[in-house]
Amino acid sequence: MFRVQGLVKSFGPVKAVDGVSFEVAKGELYGLLGPNGAGKTTTMSMMSGLLAPDEGRILFDGIDLALRPLEVKAQLGVVPQETALYETLNARENLRFWGGLYGLSGKRLEAAVDRVLDQVGLKERAKEPVKQYSGGMKRRLNLALGLVHGPRAVLMDEPTVGIDPQARLNILAAVKSVAASGTTVIYTTHYLEEVEDLCDRIGIMDHGRILAEGTLDELIRRVGGREVVTVRGGFDAEALRAKMGVLPGVQVTSSGSGKLVLSVDGSGRAAVELLGRVLAEGLPLEGVSIQPPSLNALFISLTGRELRD
Amino acid sequence: MPLLLRLVAKDLRRKLRSPLALIVALAFPLVFAGMIGLAFGGGGAVPKVRLLVDDEDGALLSNAVASIFTSRQASPYFDATTVDAATGRAMMDEGKASALLTIPKGFSSDLLDGRPVTLSLLRNPAEGILPEIAEQTAGTAADLLDGARRVLDKPLADLRPYLREGSRAPGDADIVAIALAVKRSLESASSLVFPPAITLESDPKAGAKAKGGPTTSAIFLLVLPGVAVYGLFLVADQGMRDIMTERTLGTLRRQLAGPLTPGLLILGKAIYTAVLSLLSLLVIAAAGAAALRGPIDVAAFALVSLALILAVTGVAASVYGLARTERQGSTLGNMVFLAMGFLGGGFIRVESLPAVLRGVAPFTPLYWGADGYRAILEHGAGVRGVLPNVAALGSMGVVFLALGIGALHRAARRGAVA
């Protein structure tokens, strides 16, 4: 359904997106996982037609977005990262307006409004001005606005940022129900557990590039059953790198500024041997962490840092 | 419902839910004009000069001076009371009068003898204008008497013996001789006095106004056109500023992610601004109509209004086309509208401005709007009379609207608006 080919977008000297390509099949829930500044939102802005890419193209059902933007946009739903609502209007009025923009009217519009109000659990308070809503309710309405016209695909850009755990669970449940109805969803987040819980396939992004892509199982297999050991302290990481890199079953992923990240054989012996050698060096250690094979471990092994860094 | 209509309806509904800023913009011209009307109108209650006259001479000519202020003709402007010196001083000390005019003893005889005379006027420092009126009037009276004395020098010399205390009454022959002398003096001066170089023609309307003074509603209507047009610019500013407000809300970006072109969205905002201005104009016009005393040319009014709405929408679009943020636009708008308010006759009539500024005024749409309404209200202008205003406003509106929409469209296309 979506084919993204070689997207590049720069803002002045900064290359926000650097050759991103991926495909999303019809009915698939595709997650773009990456830390803040990875280029997820810029990619979504280009996919929703708000930003023109410097290079590359986006095809939706074979239609080039750059050539026939209105035709593509009419079939998409967009749920932006910030809550984009008219706070003086109530939920029903907001939904009527956005549904109307996509050509719905009369009974079809009213039925669509009722459907999404049900979907996000706001029917009881649909006549209250939005300014009286809690943050979580606004987030749910924000989601509903992207769904009211029954889009074939929805672009959701970090829809759970800044909300409490209960509201987050409500949003995730709504996203699952959207996906279950056969709507294609492209979902960006920097929460590992969200993509693990929701997504059929995941693309891991950092520094404007997709570093790895696949299902959760495929990605974890890609870690190769290896653990990631991170050693922190006031030592010369480059000197330590030279010493540890020669150990059997140990690969150095990255080093620098008092931090050494190593990928070790998941059997456990390699990690024990590694730690023994580190301690034997008598280095001023501040901490050691061991990540079992996981998406986070993959991210660390790919980037040398954690998602939250 | 067409897309454009949906966009406009949504914005109007939002404005209806949060109308405070609009109410303030609408109230400003009405309150401003109303306050000026109340301050300077008053519906006929013109304050009188409370003048005390201390006639210490008590002779023929001093009586004549006093009668200038006590006459029936002067009664609408002067509340004159004859007092003695002590009473006059006491009343002035108590602030019960605007001025005390003292006619000194020997005034009449000195005047008849051609000696210099002095009238003294004590002003009440607590009052500004009223004592000034008394002083100007007394000065004019003194000039008048001096002129009359020069013209009637010969007959006054003949009359002098009969005016002295204890003198005999003039006989019939004396009266005839003096009358003839007066006639000859006037005839000899007639080439200088008649025909008068300046003729004052009294306008019955002006006369009526002068009798009662301008009413509150008349002053209200005098002030309203300028401030109303200024207020309309403030309303239009709110309309076009909404494009920046929506940008802050994120709803602009969301709309542009939908099946809308940036051009349609900006056009929608311009139509919303025009509708908002039209509704505001109707409210102000209704208030103006309530104060109106006679009919006006409705077609001329409608034409000026439509052209003005085009102009205010265009100027506001240009302001927000130039601005990069809501705050920038708001600051720029306030500066532009305030400058136009002063230069275009929004607050002070253009005729009262210095010559340099009067020359600049026609370059502002506010001038043409206010001038058009004034022509209709004050001079009964019809469609033909306001055509220059309509043409100026219309062309300014088209130019500014094209500039503004063009700038906003370019900003939207490069992603700067969203």
Residue B190: what pLDDT?
62
Contacts of A87 in chain B (CB under 8 A): 249
Q: Looking at the complex, report in whole angstroms how far the Cα of residue A84 sits from the nearest Cα belonging to chain B.
A: 5
User: Which candidate from A80, A89, A100 shows the least CB-CB separation from B253?
Assistant: A80
State whether residue A58 sits within 8 Å of chain B by CB: no
pLDDT of residue B385: 93
pLDDT at B42: 62
User: Using an 8 Å Cβ cutoff, are A170 and A135 in contact?
Assistant: no
A110 touches chain B (CB under 8 A): no
Is 80 exceeded by the pLDDT of residue B106? Answer: yes
> Among A49, A88, A101, whose Cβ lies nearest the Cβ of B3?
A101
**Residues from chain B contacting residue A76 (CB–CB below 8 Å):** 257
Please give the Cα distance from B149 to B349 (Å, whole number): 44
Closest by alpha carbon to A113, among A105, A169, A128? A105
For the stretch B154-210, pLDDT in tens is: 777 777 777 666 777 777 887 888 788 777 777 776 665 544 444 434 343 334 444
A85 vs B: CB within 8 A: yes
pLDDT above 70 for B213: no
What is residue A13's predicted lDDT score, i.e. its pLDDT? Answer: 93
Residue pairs between chains A and B whose CB atoms are closer than 8 Å: 66
Q: Indicate whether B313 pLDDT > 70.
A: yes
Strands A29-33 and A14-24 come out as unpaired
Q: Measure the CA–CA gap between B350 and B342, rounded to whole angstroms.
A: 9
The C-alpha angle with vertex B350 and arms to B345 and B353, in degrees rounded to 5, equals: 110
pLDDT digit string (tens) for chain A, length 309 residues: 899 999 999 999 999 999 999 999 999 999 999 998 899 999 999 999 999 999 999 999 999 999 999 999 999 999 999 999 999 999 999 999 999 999 999 999 999 999 999 999 999 999 999 999 999 999 999 999 999 999 999 999 999 988 888 889 989 999 999 999 999 999 999 998 899 999 999 999 999 999 999 999 888 887 777 888 888 888 887 777 777 777 777 888 888 778 888 888 776 777 788 888 888 888 888 888 888 777 888 888 888 777 765
Torsion angles phi and psi, residue A154, rounded to 5: -120, 135
The answer to whether the Cβ–Cβ distance between B250 and A145 falls below 8 Å is no
Give the H/E segment covering residue A99. helix A91-101
The answer to whether A90 contacts chain B (CB < 8 Å) is no
B327-343 pLDDT, tens digit per residue, is 999 999 999 999 999 99
Is residue B418 over pLDDT 60? Answer: no
Considering the entire predicted model, what is its pTM?
0.71
Distance of alpha carbon B376 from alpha carbon A308, whole angstroms: 70
Nearest Cβ partner of A50 from B17, B256, B261? B256
Residue with tokens 């892509």: A213
Give the distance from residue A5's alpha carbon to the nearest chain B alpha carbon, in angstroms.
Answer: 20
| Contact between B249 and A98 using a beta-carbon 8 Å cutoff | no
Chain A partners within 8 Å of B3 (Cβ): 101
Nearest to B250 among A73, A80, A89 (CB): A80
pLDDT of the residue at B203: 41
CB contact A50 to B (< 8 Å): yes
Best of B15, B20, B254 to disrupt the A interface (most A CBs within 10 Å) is B254
For residue A128, give the DSSP letter: S
Q: At what angle do helices B216-249 and B298-322 cross, to 10 degrees?
A: 40
Higher pLDDT, B354 or A88: A88
Q: What pLDDT score does B46 carry?
A: 58
Contacts of A99 in chain B (CB under 8 A): none
> Nearest by CB to B254, which of A84, A87, A89?
A84
pLDDT at B235 over 90: yes
